[in-house]
Structure 1
């Protein structure tokens, strides 16, 4: 793989042993992928502070430098870690201090994570602690090469923002943060960003739930393909809709890039979406396919007695928090049902100032940050049945925690939280 003079100097240790280890990792990674060279990135979204037994052991042995070296650089040497070379942020992590006495999550994990945040903050990492960095100020521009983890963030960055990233991992983002480089392959290449499947939407798709069901169907069909979505029945989506749609495509499949001609930035027309090639025969999404998606997402629910309701996956936007507060105004949760709403720390601050948090808490709900039940493998003690408006969470959480799950609208989830019963249906 070709290296520039600057990259060769980094590999030879001119910028220190950690940067040399990072460049060595990127060369091995790029050669395995068949990449001919590296490309510059100036925006990295990875994870360093998420607690785990392995991470705790490494920190006890050699501090956070040891943890970063082994986990984020694939290097067993004891080496000092410099400040990040390019802007880097911490994505979602474990539950934070606001979860203590609410979430059955080890306090020692909260303590370890808080210590890690202090270390990495001092090394140039922005502690955003969210799966939606684009909601709290990390907004790469169209065409910018970035190195991001987190499937729902990657598909949003590529598709909605028009940035360029593959779905990176802990080690590749760690190496990118010290070098400002990643292998030039996949979604970084012009020719790899065109669509390869066409979907014709024949049924009204306007609500948050609609976009989640459409995304789940599309992801199941294309798997790791690049779908192009069209149809007069498509409504005009807002941020939360595209967030839900992309997360659902990445959950049911492995979609990292989609096009909605006239809405997403890289394709104003179907012709542009396919790079001038003939579009394939469309896959239709009508009433039958919509029913399939709804039934698939509700296939892990049997009992209608709901003891946990989860909102905010991917992390809730401020508009979603406002709507949740409005739906809960003047209501009280069922004594046997808990409601958690997950959101970024920065948006929790806005929700506090706007009064949304107070309304939610008066009803008996909780606004929590940093993590989610699937990431931290934690739900209210004794949870047997949960309900959510997230296609991603209802897909993963039953398998992770061994519980039943229901998928519906915000209003149906609030009703379940207030009554303790699931009464959702496809409308």
Structure 2
């Protein structure tokens, strides 16, 4: 891999041992990938503050510097960590103080995370604490090279924003933060961003539920390739596109998709494929829609719902408002809990707008920073949960060993109020 002069200097220790270790990792990583060079970045979204038993031990025995070196740089070194070289944000992590007494999450991990926030905040990490950083201020521009983690954030950045990032890991983002570099391969290269498969929706796709189901079908159909989606598509909003992308990355491994006339790199169908021949169409029709719905609901047997989860990826303000409207004047079933996961910044707006009060008055909770899949906790005794997220319906039964129902936000709220799942495909 060819290194520029500034990159050679970092590797040789001109900016200290931590930066040298970071550059060494990136060189090894890039060579393993077959990258020819590194590209300059100015936007990192990673995980520094996520608590874990390993991190707790490292901090207790050696301090935060050693924890960063080991976990975020894959290094055995014990050196001071400098200020982040480029703007860096923390994605979602463990539950915070607002979950104490609500989620069965250890208080010591909450404290460890608070300590981490203080340390990394002082070193230049913006603690956004959400899987949707683009909802709360981290909005890379079209064509900007980034180093982001989290599959739903990556597919949104590439597809909706037109930024350029691969789905990075804890160590590569840790190294990128200190160097402003990342291997230039995959989605960073224009030739790797053109569509490979054509999907046509032969049924109307309108609203959160249908965008999620279409995404789940698309991901399964193309796996790690690059779909171009056309057909009977009603204009999506932010929540629809984040839900669609998250579903494609769950059932497959999609990191970029194109919707001609909607996403920025696909003004036309021809542009989406880079002028190459348009492939044979994969049709998403009524039968496929029904199959996706049944697949997402094949992990539920009991209709007695004891947990309802909304906000995966983290809820937008509009989604929180919809939940509040659906709950107004109602009360949750005594045996059912409702959690709405949201970025803390949007929770503040929801508080000021009166949405949180309505939700809490009904017995629900707006929680921040994490989710049951990330923190691996649900209300104690949970056996059956309901969600409007195809991503959570896909993952949470395997992670927590519980049954799942998938439906609309309104059906989920109804389940929270009645304690019974009554959703159906219309």
Same fold? TM cut 0.5: yes
Secondary structure of 1:309's match? strand
- Equivalence for 2:160: 160
* Correspondence 1:133 to 2:141: no
CA distance in 2, matches of 1:124, 1:207: 38
TM-score by length of 1: 0.99
- Equivalence for 1:27: 27
- Equivalence for 1:422: 421
CA distance in 2, matches of 1:344, 1:42: 22
CA distance in 1, matches of 2:17, 2:97: 34
CA distance in 2, matches of 1:377, 1:187: 31
- Equivalence for 1:195: 195
**Within-5 A mapping of 1:242-281:** 242-281=241-280
* Correspondence 1:406 to 2:396: no
- Equivalence for 1:367: 366
* Correspondence 1:77 to 2:77: yes
1:228-276 C-alpha deviation (Å, 9 max, x unpaired): 0001x11000000000000000000000000000000001111100000
CA distance in 1, matches of 2:31, 2:58: 29
CA distance in 1, matches of 2:268, 2:82: 46
**Within-5 A mapping of 1:386-401:** 386-401=385-400
Q: Measure how far apart 1:77 and its partner are.
A: 1.1
* Correspondence 1:88 to 2:88: yes
- Equivalence for 2:12: 12
1:45-103 C-alpha deviation (Å, 9 max, x unpaired): 00011111111111111111111000000101111000000000000000001000110
1:133-190 C-alpha deviation (Å, 9 max, x unpaired): 0000000000000000000000000000000000000000000000000000000001
TM-score by length of 2: 1.00
CA distance in 1, matches of 2:63, 2:362: 43
1:299-333 C-alpha deviation (Å, 9 max, x unpaired): 10000000000000000000100010000000000
CA distance in 2, matches of 1:21, 1:59: 19
Secondary structure of 2:204's match? coil
Unmatched tracts of structure 1, length 5 or more: none
CA distance in 2, matches of 1:202, 1:268: 21
**Within-5 A mapping of 1:285-304:** 285-304=284-303
CA distance in 2, matches of 1:396, 1:64: 31
1:328-358 C-alpha deviation (Å, 9 max, x unpaired): 0000000000000000010000000000000
- Equivalence for 1:142: 142
Q: Measure how far apart 1:283 and its partner are.
A: 0.2
- Equivalence for 2:185: 185
Secondary structure of 1:160's match? helix
Secondary structure of 1:175's match? helix
* Correspondence 1:118 to 2:118: yes
Unmatched tracts of structure 2, length 5 or more: none
- Equivalence for 2:313: 314
